[in-house]
Amino acid sequence: MSEAVAAAVRVVRESGLPHETSSMFTSVEGEWDEVMDVVRRATEAAGRYGSRVSLVLKADIRPGHTGQMQAKVARVEERLRH
């Protein structure tokens, strides 16, 4: 399974969009059409390794805001310091 996941993550990394990969998820930040194109291509890349792909999609749509993957964590870390 790691080979299929790696293929999908490679698509995300090559997209140039801000992203983070953890043990369970890969988060991508960007404009709707850009992100959905990356999701489609990553899903297709993973699909080359089997007959089925499981996809969990969660969207946080907040027009006018960028860099929120790091900013949200920074706000929590700031509160933990106090």
pLDDT at res. 21: 96
Instruction: Give mean pLDDT, residues 8-27.
Output: 96
The 10s digit of each residue's pLDDT in 19-68 is 999 999 999 999 999 999 999 999 999 999 999 999 999 999 989 998 98
pLDDT at res. 80: 96
Element (H, E) at 39: helix 32-47
* DSSP structural state of residue 26: E
Instruction: Give mean pLDDT, residues 7-17.
Output: 98
State the pLDDT confidence band at 79, using cuts at 50, 70 and 90.
very high
pLDDT at res. 18: 96
Are the beta carbons of 43 and 53 closer than 8 angstroms? yes
In 10 A of CB 46, how many CB atoms?
Answer: 22
State the pLDDT confidence band at 7, using cuts at 50, 70 and 90.
very high
